[in-house]
Amino acid sequence: MALLTKAPKGTQDILPADSSTWQLIEDVLRSEAAVNGFSEIRTPVFEHTELFQRSVGETTDVVQKEMYTFLDKGNRSITLRPEGTAGAVRAMLEHALYNAGFPVKLYYLTSCYRYENTQKGRLREFHQFGAEVFGTASPVADAELITMVNSIFERLGLRNIQLELNSIGCPKCRAQYYAVLKDYFYQHKDQLCETCLGRLERNPMRILDCKSPVCSEIAANAPMMKDYLCDDCKEHFDSVQTLLTEAGVEFTINPMIVRGLDYYTRTVFEFVSNDLGAQSTVCGGGRYDGLVEEMGGAPTPALGYAIGLERLLMILEAQKVELPEVPKCEIYLASLGKEAQKKAFALTTTLRECSVFAECDICDRSLKAQMKYANKIGARYSVVIGEQEIANNKAKLKNMETGETSNISLDDKFVEEYIIRVTTDEDNEGMVHVDWGDEEEV
C-alpha cells in the first residue's frame, strides 16, 4: 500500500501552497526570454538513447550513470531526457529551423530525469529552464546569454550569486593542452579514482571536474587551459569579458570549470550560490561550436545554458525573497435554500465571466458554515441571498473588513453595481489593487 501513497524516490509534488511561486518564476523566465528574443521549444520527454549518448557525451556522469534508459515494446532503446539541449538541437535540425536564418534562439522549461543519489538540491525528477542560440560565433552572443541569466536573478531579487567564467579553447589549441594535461595526470595515475582513470585517455579535462577529494587535490595543480589558448580563442575570451564588464555583469575567472567534451568550445560558465550548500551550482552553460555538426548538421556555432529550478527556489527561500501575494477571493455569494443557491451559482458564473474571483456554496453547507468559509478564504465582500432577497431582487453587499453594506440588484445590473462599489471603496481607502504577475511586484 505504501507504494500507492508515496511518490518515487527523488521526485516531489509541487503542492498548491508552492505552485504560485513556481508560476511566478516561470512568468519571469518567460518574459525575460521574450525580451531577449527567444521563442519556446517543447520537445518530447523521451528520445532515442543514442541522442544523449552522442550529445551529452559518453564520458559524462549523466551518460555513464544517470540515465533512465529502457527498451520500449518495439525494442527501441529509449531514454527520459536528462537535460534539454539534446532535444533542442535534434528538433532544430529535424525541422530545419535554421532555414528561417540565424541566429535561432530557443528556450525551454521542462522536467528532466537523472538516476542520482538523491540529496538536497539533487533530485531524480527536476526542472530546468534553458536557452540555446544557434548560428553565431560572436562573443556578443556569449555576453548576451550570460547577461540574460544575470538579469533573471536580478529580477527575482536574488543576491550573492557569483558568475564563474572560463574558456576551454577550440579543438586546435586544446590538442596541445591535452598532451600536457595527460602527461601531468599520468604522473599521478596511481592516485586517480577509477572513473578518472577511464577519462585519462579520452577526456582528461573532465578529471578537473571530479568531486573526489584526492582527484581534486591533484587537479588543483594541473596545467590550465587558459595558459594554452590560441590567439583566436584568447581574443574571443577577452571580448566576452570586456562585454560583460561593460554590461555591468560581475564575474571571476575559474580555470577549473570545464564542460569537457570535444564539441564544447571556448566560453564555459557557472552561476554559484552559497545558499545552496553542497549543490552550489544553480546554472551551467557554455559554447558548443562542434555539437550541431557532430549530430549530423552543417557546422553551426552554438551556445546555451540551463538553470535548475529547484535550486533557484532553494535560493529564493534561503534569502526570504518577498513574493507577491496570491490573489484572494473577491466576493462570496452565500445562499439559504435551493432557489437561492441556484441564483448564487448563476451570479458567480457571471462574475467569473467578467474575470472576478468569486465563490459560492458548492458543499450544501448551512449559512453559518458558509460565512465561516468566506472568512477563511479571505473574501473581501459577501452577499447573502435568501427567499426574501430573491423576491425583492435585492440583497446587501457587505465589505467584510469594514462591515459596511450597500444594496445590490440581483439581476443584470449585479456586476456593474458590484464594480462601482469596489471602486468607490478603493478610492476611499486609497487601496492599491495587487496585480498578480505584475513584474514590478517581483
Q: Give the binding site for ligand ATP (CB under 6 A).
A: 83, 114, 116, 121-123, 126, 128, 279, 281-284, 306, 308, 310-311
State in angstroms the smallest separation of the CB of 85 from ligand ATP: 9
Buried b (16+ CB within 10 A) or exposed e, 110-128: bebbbbbeeeebbbbbbbb
Pairing of strands 161-167, 265-273: antiparallel
Nearer to ligand ATP, 152 or 422 (CB): 152
Nearer to ligand ATP, 83 or 132 (CB): 83
Q: Which residue has the cell 568550445?
A: 265
Nearer to ligand ATP, 114 or 380 (CB): 114
Nearer to ligand ATP, 287 or 311 (CB): 311
State in angstroms the smallest separation of the CB of 303 from ligand ATP: 13
Nearer to ligand ATP, 83 or 144 (CB): 83
Q: How far is CA 44 from the centre of its chain?
A: 17
Kindly give the interhelix angle for 309-318 and 16-35, rounded to the nearest 10 degrees.
110
State in angstroms the smallest separation of the CB of 144 from ligand ATP: 19
Nearer to ligand ATP, 10 or 198 (CB): 10
Q: Give the residues across from 398 on adjacent strands.
A: 382, 405
State in angstroms the smallest separation of the CB of 280 from ligand ATP: 8
Nearer to ligand ATP, 123 or 240 (CB): 123
State in angstroms the smallest separation of the CB of 145 from ligand ATP: 14
CA dist., res. 44 & res. 64, Å (int) = 22
State in angstroms the smallest separation of the CB of 268 from ligand ATP: 10
State in angstroms the smallest separation of the CB of 125 from ligand ATP: 8
Nearest residue to ligand ATP, using CB?
A: 308
Nearer to ligand ATP, 116 or 417 (CB): 116
State in angstroms the smallest separation of the CB of 73 from ligand ATP: 28
